[in-house]
Structure 1
Amino acid sequence: MSESVRVLPLQRVSAAEAAAWHEVVVASMAHDLPGVPPPGPGQVTAQLTRPALGSRRLTWLATGADGVPVGVAGLRVFTSAGRDHLAELELHVDPAHRRLGAGSRLLSAVVAACRTENRRSLVAAAADGSPGEAFGERLGFHRVLTLDHLILRLDELPEADLLRIVGTAPPGYRLTGWTGTVPDELAAAFAEAKNAMNDMPMGDMDYGSVAWDGDRVRAMAKVIADRGDTLLTIAAVHEDGTMAGYTEILLPQGSGPRAQQYDTAVVPAHRGHGLGLWVKAAMVRHLRAEHPGVVEIETDNADDNAHMLAVNHRLGFRSYRRTHEFQLDVPAT
């Protein structure tokens, strides 16, 4: 049966290929992740056709004997110093066409590309108990990190609780915020704060690190805007001008009901003052006031990130699913 599956690398992704990709992803997620909203067609097209920050994307489409798309694979090849050993995999097979060899053939193409690109580590995520988890373990991936996914329903948060948190400013700090690109006068301080993410718990994952500067934070915001998404940031600034912590929320294009948490970080020298909870509560109030169509926020934390899990639970986030990050150590040719 596997002889009927063809795997084709995509060069410039056409509108028809993006539509086929979207159909496969929607079918795969509906089966493996019921209740998780799939990306919209515009989001998929932007992902496939717009450059990502500090990386290149390689893509493959698997078709059956009749030419019908049955599977897709995307490989994000990181190019930034500190991550130029790494690639990240997204792979989906339509449930109606599984066990015909499409997943194995796509993965073979991906691993070959990793060798060509001199990548030693290939990482991928799979939902707990899903077919993807079993597939990865069978083909040599090993589990390196477990993520708890949490949902915060904004309509379940009493306004009085939020006011109490936001109104109790830690001495010596103030809040600021922006939409999209960081203001020029804050860019350097924001970049320094972004570097605090490099000590985030990552289990046994060979994920490397990123060095942030003003140009990189501006480039990140441009990438997000170019694909049609909106990035919101709330930050805590110390009286000495240091940006002590921040939180970011992504509104996918179309600003649907579920927002995605991006980074939340507190600079090590400013930890222990409740800044993480403070900026996140301020963000919830901002969403309520400026983006009333958003009704929930999804975030994820490593299961050993006890501090951020405690902050999120204090704010009202509730666990609803788990995923595992897997890593394949790619042998050199």
Structure 2
Amino acid sequence: MTNRWTPVEVDATTAGPDFWTRYHAYRRLRHAETRPDDPIRPDRVIEDGMKRNDPFEIHYRYEISNGGKMLSWFTAEATRPGAPGYDTNKHLLWTEGSVHRDHRRRGIGRSWIPIVLEIMDRHSYTTVGIECEEESGHAFLKWIGAEAKLTGAENRLKLADVDWAVMRRWVEEGRKGSPDTKFESYDGRLPESMLEDYAPQISSMLNTIPFEDLDHGEIVETPAMIKEWFARMDMSGEAGHWMMTREPDGVISGITDMYYAPYSPTIVHQGFTGVRPDARGRGLGKWLKAAMAIHLHELYPNAEWFTTDNAGSNAPMLAINAKMGFKTYRVGSEYQITRDRLAARLQELAGAF
């Protein structure tokens, strides 16, 4: 198989003005194609994030450009050796790629396959994951032999349609149903003094997320990882908001967190919401979600939407979201394919072209 497209590796820390000019032009084109109604992240926020050293993940970035115009962009990431969770995630590579809408069906997407295999062979990754929400992408991934392992959706809540009386009732029912449970709320950042306690408890809850058939490792959060995340939020000016319920023995039984960015004043993003399995059935999830909705509605009067991502199999959370008024905005899938199967497919393509 031959093609005339030459992928070039990009080092964001040394990339010059010409790269950033064509990258941002491509990024705006893709944003207009996939999320035309949403605010776009400012160039500075994107550049600062890409240039900052990541102590916990390895990032691979490549472009295909011609005549000063970016035609395709490909990124991959994996857990850094020695980072928390490495032992159960070391075989996994996660990727994302796209092709300029005016240059599709010319073999550009196919040109990324040797790059993926080279990265996998160099670092002994055995499975690659690719997230997709566009029809052209689904078709391409099925064509190369990848399988959809996890299906989810971005769901959005229009705040003008929320029944705030119901939200207040959920809060009151939560308090009455768990009178010995302490309710905690934090704006901006979590206190550093609580991270040693918080990190293992949020890790435990994150690992209860349903992943369907997706090959995945353990999710591990540490105080250092959370502080790195906060540092990145500081760079972009984002504010975090956390609410949690804590039982008399000190165990955090439920958590919800949301994030506001000044460059996206109309949309507030939901992060994680979870309740420990042994604390479910008491209305803690509804209590947390409703209290957060009321708080942020008052704090950000210009916000019009809450947005969240949910696995299609996460029935308890989907039920709460549906009662709040969340509606499906877009659907996507996480595909995976093994290194050996991808290599075999490349051999097939070499014989066909």
| TM norm structure 1 | 0.90
Structure-1 residue corresponding to 2:133: 127
Residue correspondence of structure 1 range 69-148 to structure 2 within 5 A: 69-79=70-80, 80=83, 81=86, 82-127=88-133, 130-148=135-153
1:188 pairs with one of 171, 174, 196: 196
Structure-2 residue corresponding to 1:28: 30
Of residues 50-59 and 263-272 in structure 1, the stretch that sits farther from structure 2 once superposed is 50-59
Kindly indicate whether the alpha-carbon contact (under 8 Å) linking 1:43 and 1:253 is maintained by their aligned counterparts in 2: no
Q: Does 1:198 align with 2:207?
A: yes
Q: Distance in 1 between matches of 2:38 and 2:106?
A: 26
Of residues 51-60 and 156-165 in structure 1, the stretch that sits farther from structure 2 once superposed is 51-60
1:165 pairs with one of 159, 162, 170: 170
Residue correspondence of structure 1 range 1-333 to structure 2 within 5 A: 3-11=3-11, 12=13, 13-32=15-34, 35=37, 38-52=40-54, 54-64=56-66, 66-79=67-80, 80=83, 81=86, 82-127=88-133, 130-168=135-173, 169=175, 170-195=178-203, 196-252=205-261, 254-331=263-340
Q: Distance in 2 between matches of 1:216 and 1:267?
A: 22
Kindly indicate whether the alpha-carbon contact (under 8 Å) linking 1:85 and 1:121 is maintained by their aligned counterparts in 2: yes
Unaligned runs of 5+ in 2: 344-353
CA shift, 1:310, in A, is 0.6
Supply the RMSD in Å over aligned alpha carbons.
Answer: 2.4
Which structure features the higher share of helix residues? 2
CA shift, 1:221, in A, is 2.5
Q: Secondary structure at the match of 1:155?
A: helix
Q: Distance in 1 between matches of 2:211 and 2:7?
A: 33
Structure-1 residue corresponding to 2:348: none
Distance 1:155 1:121, change over 3 A: same
CA shift, 1:152, in A, is 0.6
Q: Deviations over 1:165-200 (max 9, x none)?
A: 122213222321223432244323322331211121
Kindly indicate whether the alpha-carbon contact (under 8 Å) linking 2:41 and 2:263 is maintained by their aligned counterparts in 1: no
CA shift, 1:53, in A, is 6.5
Question: Aligned letter for 1:238?
Answer: E
Distance 1:268 1:51, change over 3 A: farther
- Is the radius of gyration larger for structure 1 or structure 2? 2
- How many residue pairs match? The answer is 330
Kindly indicate whether the alpha-carbon contact (under 8 Å) linking 1:25 and 1:38 is maintained by their aligned counterparts in 2: no
Q: Distance in 1 between matches of 2:152 and 2:21?
A: 30
Q: Secondary structure at the match of 1:331?
A: helix
Q: Secondary structure at the match of 1:90?
A: strand
Q: Secondary structure at the match of 2:89?
A: coil
Distance 1:329 1:200, change over 3 A: same
Q: Distance in 1 between matches of 2:221 and 2:119?
A: 28
Q: Distance in 2 between matches of 1:132 and 1:37?
A: 23
CA shift, 1:16, in A, is 3.8
Q: Share of identical aligned residues, percent?
A: 23
